[in-house]
Amino acid sequence: MPEPHLLAADTDRTAVVTRLDESLADGRLTLAEYEDRSARAHAARTYGELAELTADLPLPARREPARREPARSPVASALYGGAWHGSWGPDLRAAWTQWATTAVIVVGIWLVSVLGSGDLQYPWPVWVIGPWGVVLLARTIGERRSQGTDRQQLPA
């Protein structure tokens, strides 16, 4: 931390409160201690005042930086659904499950209409499940390839 007499910024106070949050979660602080220290952190004016609040806490363990997820367009969000996951993560499995469920439903509707009318009708379900399946297959192949390149980049 810089010299104790220098004025602290809001980001410095926030960093100390975050460290206090982690210490509370780890069980190093009681709720009363946490409330007192976090109130003092928000009111602190100098680095020295902030340093006093964490002086008896061990240094935080080195954490891996969060992996930044790629930016997603509204179209990608609509096609892929919720959060971005790695290859065959919950998101990809859910997407294939939704595709298969929809395929069974629309093909079932088409079969009922064919059987009900007695003649072969145009196979319109192809336009519902075909493009969706192509996009999903491309996504699956892309994620598999990117997972393969990630493995190659890892140190031995």
Residues 98-139: tens digit of each pLDDT: 999 999 999 999 999 999 998 888 999 999 899 989 988 988
Residue 142 forms part of a structural domain: yes
CB 128 within 8 A of CB 106: yes
Residue 4 forms part of a structural domain: no
Residue 3 confidence class, pLDDT cut points 50, 70, 90: confident
| Non-local CB neighbours of 62 within 8 Å, separated by 6+ positions | none
Domain that holds residue 133: 91-151
Q: For the chain, how many structural domains are there in total?
A: 2
Residue 71 forms part of a structural domain: no
Residue 151 confidence class, pLDDT cut points 50, 70, 90: low
State both tokens at 32: 């009363």
Residue 102 forms part of a structural domain: yes
147 in the same domain as 95: yes
Residue 22 forms part of a structural domain: yes
Greater model confidence, 69 or 9: 9
Residue 63 forms part of a structural domain: no
47 in the same domain as 99: no
Q: For residues 61 and 17, give the distance between their C-alpha atoms in angstroms, rounded to a whole number.
A: 16
95 in the same domain as 45: no
- pLDDT of 69 above 60: no
Average pLDDT over residues 9-31: 88
Residue 5 forms part of a structural domain: no
CB-CB neighbours of 110 under 10 Å: 17
Residue 24 forms part of a structural domain: yes
pTM as predicted:
0.41
